[in-house]
Structure 1
Amino acid sequence: MKQISLDEEYEKDTGITPQDIAELRQWLQTQPHLPEKYITDLDLILAYHCCHNSSGLTKQVLDLNLTLRTLFNNIFKDRYNDRIEKLMSDLLLTPLSMRTKEGYVILYARLLNSDPKVFHYGDAVKAVLMVIELYQYEEGTWPGMLLTVDFKGVSLAHLAKIDLFSLQHFLYYLQEAILLRLKGMHFLNAPPFIDKLLLMMKPFMKKELMDMLHIHTADSKNLKDYFPIEALPNDSGGNAESNEKHKDMVLAKLKDYKPYFEEESNKRVTESLRPGKQKTISDIFGGVEGSFKKLEID
């Protein structure tokens, strides 16, 4: 495990300064319910960057991020376990080595084992966020990220295993509290039944996320308009290393990060210490006012 250095982060063209982060740290120390001693300067940089260097917005989003990590036990409790390791042998989740022309990271996901019996949607959601976090730990801020899901091998039996509870939580976290700039979602090799998945997703998606979602069937010609097709693994239509090699690299990295995820479990809110009213799941989904984090459409 090697965290990107703060010096490297400050050298990036983000406009973030040590003074900005020091001021956020001072604010954090006034919040008794937040786990200040476990929040790193890199965490603060990621939050500040995703909020376009707005201090006020960063405070709201960081609080929400930590609150959801506490409330969404299905995603954030017991993150590294044997089931995740097994899932990551049957599923490829990897940032591709090439970026888009804008410099965005492309997170690529696909099944390696198409047997629905080995697919667990809740674990897949956990794994997506774990992979994003461990690469952010090493690389720091990104100009943006594309979430790219390849539907090769996906059947209706897989859709039947999606629990709406985890889907709602994942999409809410993705839209409101993830510490990165999401720039697009792409579904590749979309099957004829993709409309059934969209019907499940739409109740939990804001218009901005719907506008970011691009559906590509197997014969689509416009994928190259969004990212370099050669970035894909060579057995998924590109020129990069194979799916298996990508999987082996990510799985090895994930195993190295077991101590990181044990430490990450401390990044939780103590609701009894929150000034004012404590937050509950019903507060989150019972009509929070507005949304803090602005999704951008390119």
Structure 2
Amino acid sequence: MPQHAVQPFPVSEEYVKNPEIKPEDIAKFRQWVRTQPHLPDQHISGTAPNSSFRPSINVPRLRKDRQASGVGAELQSCSNLDLVLTYHCCDRSAEVAKQVLDLNLTLRTMSPIFAGRDVDDKGLERAYHIMLLSILPTRTPEGYAVFYQCLVDCDPKNFVFPDVMKAVMMTLDLYQVEQGTWPGLVIVLDMKGVQLAHLSRLEIQTLQHFMYYLQEAFLAKLKAIHYLNAPSFMDKLLMILKPFMKKQLMDMLHIHQPDSKAVDEVIPKAALPKEYGGQHKDINTWIEESWQKVRANREYFAAESERRVNEAKRPGRPRSVTDLFGGVEGSFKKLDID
């Protein structure tokens, strides 16, 4: 197995970590999944109908290789860890969990930010080298995981937003598989080096897809979003984001000016890169390790890209992109606010 290849967090340990979640809860959840013909527990295919996913890798060959090695085969359907993650983030509400799992997989099928997860893609490689994307090694005082992002290449021409968002989601997926459930997740975006020209590189459709997923179908309990080193044009960024944000998410935002000390009480600053005031690794080493971790999990991403819904088999009327992305109204998943 390649170095840095993740091992899924054992479900048996999830029951210890979260004793309020019982194996029989997940067994009942599994029984429901098996009654849904459109969900990937019922089918394995290279490309789901009505999907924007068009694999740029040899899916049949990778499928054959995985069947021979045993690696990744379980990822072609909803794993028990997927069900635990969903049940946990929905506060153990069985009915909400069913809807969130369905929506999570549907969004993964229809949104380009989850498509073409090929680690040989040059755009993806560039995205991983212009910025650091990582779960910090130290938790918040409450025990929440911290997802940290910062730019190292500040040239706006190298900031390709769809590739960046694809990298963000791939990174989060890997850490969730590796670490399992978190008591909560805090997102930290360090704005140091961000220029006004970066805002012109944002693509509204990609932004809308990401914001909808984050609020409605992300399999984690989001607790806060912190912007560090906020630039003078932070108000302009918020104007772009606001149409896609519900009040619950707006209330989670925390804006910190350069040299603000308030963030030290929330975020484990010692866990940041040395160049950003922390005591952890230098940022270039950290970035390269993050990229190698992604490359080492080629088979995971190939298998995950097959775990999609089949709209032709959905009971009732099939869903479309228009159905999903007409706005951010409506909610299955309740956002947590501290």
Please, what TM-score do these two structures have when normalized by structure 2? 0.85
Residues 278 and 292 of structure 1, relative CA distance in 2, 3 Å threshold: same
1:79 alignment partner in structure 2: 117
Q: Output the amino acid matched with 1:78.
A: G
Separation of aligned partners in 2, 1:45 and 1:226: 27
Structure 1: which 4+ aligned runs deviate by more than 4 Å? Answer: none
Does the residue aligned with 1:35 lie in a helix, a strand or coil?
coil
Q: How does 1:121-160 map to 2 (within 5 A)?
A: 121-160=161-200
Does the residue aligned with 1:23 lie in a helix, a strand or coil?
helix
Separation of aligned partners in 1, 2:216 and 2:87: 14
Does the residue aligned with 2:175 lie in a helix, a strand or coil?
helix
The Cα of 1:289 is off from its aligned counterpart by 6.6
Alignment RMSD (CA, Å):
1.3
Q: How does 1:205-216 map to 2 (within 5 A)?
A: 205-216=245-256
Q: Residue deviations 1:143-173, cap 9 Å, x none?
A: 1111111111110111110011111110000
Q: How does 1:82-231 map to 2 (within 5 A)?
A: 82-231=122-271
The Cα of 1:287 is off from its aligned counterpart by 6.0
Separation of aligned partners in 2, 1:67 and 1:287: 16
The Cα of 1:36 is off from its aligned counterpart by 0.8
Percent identity (aligned): 51
Does the residue aligned with 1:259 lie in a helix, a strand or coil?
helix
**Larger deviation: 92-101 or 243-252?**
243-252
Separation of aligned partners in 1, 2:231 and 2:330: 34
Q: Output the amino acid matched with 1:63.
A: D
The Cα of 1:86 is off from its aligned counterpart by 2.1
Q: How does 1:50-89 map to 2 (within 5 A)?
A: 50-72=89-111, 74-80=112-118, 81-89=121-129
Separation of aligned partners in 2, 1:78 and 1:176: 22
Separation of aligned partners in 2, 1:288 and 1:181: 18
Q: Which structure 2 segments of 5+ residues have no match? A: 43-76
State the aligned residue count.
297
The Cα of 1:239 is off from its aligned counterpart by 1.5
The Cα of 1:82 is off from its aligned counterpart by 2.6
Q: Output the amino acid matched with 1:114.
A: C
The Cα of 1:293 is off from its aligned counterpart by 0.5
1:41 alignment partner in structure 2: 80
The Cα of 1:272 is off from its aligned counterpart by 1.0
Separation of aligned partners in 1, 2:284 and 2:138: 18
Q: Output the amino acid matched with 1:141.
A: T
Separation of aligned partners in 2, 1:196 and 1:158: 11
Q: Which structure 1 segments of 5+ residues have no match? A: none
Within the candidate set 8, 26, 43, 1:3 is matched to 8
Separation of aligned partners in 2, 1:19 and 1:64: 23
The Cα of 1:59 is off from its aligned counterpart by 0.1
